[in-house]
Amino acid sequence: MHKQGFVSTLFAPGGFRPIGCFLLILFYPFFFTYSFFILFLENLMSIQVIGAGFGRTGTLSLKYGLEMLGYSQCYHMMELMNHPQHKELWLQAHNGYAIDWHSLYEGYQATVDWPSCNLWRTLMQEYPEAKVILSIRDPDKWYDSIMATIFKSSRMSLESDDPNKQQSGQ
């Protein structure tokens, strides 16, 4: 004699059990909806847009635009400033080591600017359903802009007597 499970007791081999059909009809939509909801949440909580453009090509505007369109949060260079613990992960990624992208991007649905932009191919392998956006700018204007802003700031940090500022300029 075999032990019967819950489902087999509802649909006994010897005959039709109305209660089994009733419960199946009652709970089937729940299980379907629950499974769909879990897949939906997994998609919501992963990177859906990858920005491949360098800083000073409109990436901050792109970040705000993506967030206005409903992508809950967009990872940008500014996020690295707010999360200094991410710096080591980014150094590992840029040196070719595998990192846990899902923990790094937890809560984010998009990423633009540095430090993600030059790893867009790696990110596409991790998030194959994501769309890639390349923001561009006239090369001469981009060079002038980056020299007057990002590189100037980094140079000043490196020349500082404060070790914390020196580290942020690296």
User: In the chain, which ranges are continuous DSSP H helix?
Assistant: 6-10, 18-44, 59-68, 77-82, 87-94, 101-104, 120-126, 139-148, 150-159, 163-168
pLDDT digits (tens, 9 = 90+) for 104-134: 999 999 999 999 999 999 999 999 999 999 9
Q: What is the pLDDT of residues 6-37, one digit of tens each?
A: 445 545 555 555 665 666 666 666 655 655 55
pLDDT in tens, 133-169: 999 999 999 999 999 998 787 666 556 566 665 455 5
For the purposes of burial, counting CB atoms within 10 Å of the CB of 13, is it exposed (0-12), middle (13-18) or buried (19 or more)?
exposed
Q: Write down the pLDDT at residue 150.
A: 84
DSSP state letter for 85:
G
